[in-house]
Structure 1
Amino acid sequence: MAENKVLFGLTNVHYAVITEGTDGKITYSTPVAIPGAVELSTDPAGETSSFFADNMVYYEASANQGYEGTVNIAKLPQSFRIDVLGETLVNGGLAESANAKPKKIALLFEIDGDKKADRFVYYNVSVSRPGTSSKTKEDSTEVNTTELSFKATPRADGWIKWVTGAETPQDIYDNFYKSVVEPVDTPSA
């Protein structure tokens, strides 16, 4: 299959909660859909530092600390608020406690392309609690969205993200949202 020339759109945002074992090994829950994806953007995190000698840049080092980003969702589902943010269902409503411990997640999503959608997974994501905003209805209805700020940092093994490509095996592509794909080559059949 040929590579995409362009990418556009956003769909199929999912999260998978991380569980860390006593040995430090992490596992992921089955990905859960977050419907209503509006926008997602990331910026690289980390710096480049230069060491000068002999009147020039003698050595340059860069630190890849992952990404910082935001994702806008039409309305954050209750499952995400409970599973990830640690809110509690009380009397049919959600209660937030200062003692809640948010959980890290893998963040999965896809961006469509002219040939085939690219599917992304960020492996070690921390999200910030979202705020609330709204305004009065005027002549037309303006839909509110929820913005989540997040940081995708390297796992202990160094992996940050993985993106499907033109040579991704069809079974991995088709099962992308059934479990978090690890960055390990699978043997050819």
Structure 2
Amino acid sequence: MPNKVKFNICNVYYAPIVISVDRSVTFGLPVAMPGAVSIALDPNGEPESFYADGVEYYIINNNMGYSGDLELAMIPESFRTEILKEEADDNYVLVENANAETGSFALLFEFDGDVKKIRHVLYNCSASRPKIESKTNEESREVQTETVTIQARPMANGYVKAKTGDKTNSSVYADWYKAVYLPTAITEAAEVEG
């Protein structure tokens, strides 16, 4: 039975992208980012029309991924050092260096559903530095969250994202957070179904 609704983001992980000397891409092990509050990613790129012979002759696909915000209770120190490239000095103080290049990563997360959680992966993400903000306590305390802006772009092979479906293999579903899922060839899937 398929999900009818989705709600509640949870189980957010990141997996650093490792680029080898020959430019091949692999992913590190997923690392938990506890305290997910919200995620809102808008699609980037709209189909563009090419006109010829007085009609819309061809529609150009322009999928440039997604961009938006990931809000967490607090950004984990591991994300700050591995992805945002803040450096811990000898006293374990995190230092932000303007000359450091931030890292790329896959972002994994899930939404609760009325039947089964829907698991997602965005393959090629970058993140902005979060704002530094807080405010004074008044009559009651209000938790201050941290937000990073995420840019999810297509990988060189064109993959942008993947998500589990109603018929996802149970072992793939169970192992979602053990390693970044990479699609099997579409032809193999068609042979299994046919």
TM-score (norm 2): 0.91
Instruction: Give SS of 1:137's match.
Output: coil
CA deviation map 1:9-45 (0-9, x unaligned)? 1000000000011222111111000000000011110
Identity across the alignment (%):
44
Give the structure 2 partner of residue 181 of structure 1. 181
How far apart are the structure 2 equivalents of 1:108 and 1:74? 17
Give the structure 2 partner of residue 165 of structure 1. 165
1:143 aligns to 2:143 (yes or no): yes
Unaligned runs of 5+ in 2: none
CA shift, 1:166, in A, is 1.2
Give the structure 1 partner of residue 79 of structure 2. 80
How far apart are the structure 1 equivalents of 2:48 and 2:122? 25
Give the structure 2 partner of residue 39 of structure 1. 38
Aligned residues: 187
CA shift, 1:55, in A, is 4.1
Instruction: Kindly report which structure 2 residues correspond to 1:83-102, keeping only aligned pairs within 5 A, or say none.
Output: 83-90=82-89, 91-102=91-102
Instruction: Give SS of 2:41's match.
Output: strand
Q: Which amino acid aligns with 1:177?
A: Y
How far apart are the structure 1 equivalents of 2:53 and 2:85? 55
Instruction: Give SS of 1:173's match.
Output: helix
Instruction: Give SS of 2:98's match.
Output: coil
Give the structure 1 partner of residue 132 of structure 2. 132
How far apart are the structure 2 equivalents of 1:175 and 1:50? 41
CA deviation map 1:83-137 (0-9, x unaligned)? 1111111212211111111110000000011110000000000111111111111
How far apart are the structure 2 equivalents of 1:15 and 1:84? 9
Give the structure 1 partner of residue 9 of structure 2. 10
How far apart are the structure 2 equivalents of 1:24 and 1:5? 42
For the aligned residue pairs, the C-alpha RMSD in angstroms reads 1.5
How far apart are the structure 1 equivalents of 2:97 and 2:131? 15
How far apart are the structure 2 equivalents of 1:49 and 1:30? 38
Deviates more, 1:50-59 or 1:18-27: 50-59
Give the structure 1 partner of residue 119 of structure 2. 119
How far apart are the structure 2 equivalents of 1:38 and 1:147? 9
CA deviation map 1:140-178 (0-9, x unaligned)? 111111111011111010000000011111111111101
Instruction: Give SS of 2:141's match.
Output: coil
How far apart are the structure 2 equivalents of 1:152 and 1:101? 17
Instruction: Kindly report which structure 2 residues correspond to 1:43-54, keeping only aligned pairs within 5 A, or say none.
Output: 43-54=42-53
TM-score (norm 1): 0.94
Q: Which amino acid aligns with 2:3?
A: N
Unaligned runs of 5+ in 1: none
Q: Which amino acid aligns with 1:122?
A: L
1:70 aligns to 2:79 (yes or no): no
